[in-house]
Amino acid sequence: MSRSNELYQQVILDHNKNPRNYRALEGSDVLVCEGHNPLCGDHITVYLDLDANGTVNDLGFQGNGCAISKASASMMTAYLKGKSLAEVKTIFSEFHDMVRGEFDPASRENHLGKLTLFQGVKEYSSRIKCASLAWHALMGALDKQQSATTEE
């Protein structure tokens, strides 16, 4: 196993065991969207609190799913705090393209930081939707939808 694969495995296991921001957010302004990945059976609900300028004030998630879907949600919530809406949308599109193998962060300028760990899932087509589920739920929350699915 290569070193990047080993690191990937360790980070997934760590976030699956100790998910960051695993909580519902309270408040009338909190945007909530339940994401569903029927291929794997993952359910991830994302909670998003934006401040008046549209900056991500807080993010949380809850749900049941495989290790990759939970680790991806955990890393997403940790990574996006304090980001502007424009940054969130850019990061979403880079992430989405990267896991599908259409964006190579090693050869292009990007805003993915630690999230580049997930580039390995492009080799496992059944896992791509697990890794992107929380992101679809986040985009659904921004669009004020109550539910989102990885199946378009």
Residue numbers at the binding site for Zn ion (CB under 5 A): 40, 42, 66, 69, 130
Pull the structure tokens for residue 15.
């976030």
Least Å from the CB of residue 101 to Zn ion: 18
Pull the structure tokens for residue 59.
């993010």
CB atoms within 10 A of CB 119: 20
Alpha helix locations (H) across the chain? 3-17, 67-80, 85-99, 125-142
Least Å from the CB of residue 16 to Zn ion: 11
Least Å from the CB of residue 121 to Zn ion: 10
Least Å from the CB of residue 65 to Zn ion: 5
75's CB contacts (< 8 A; 6+ apart) are 11, 15, 20, 114, 115, 117, 118
Q: Which is nearer to Zn ion, 45 or 69 (CB)?
A: 69
Q: Which is nearer to Zn ion, 38 or 113 (CB)?
A: 38
Q: Which is nearer to Zn ion, 34 or 42 (CB)?
A: 42
Q: Which is nearer to Zn ion, 30 or 40 (CB)?
A: 40
**Local structure of residue 52 (DSSP, 8 states):** T
Half-sphere exposure of 60 (CA within 13 A, CB side): 13
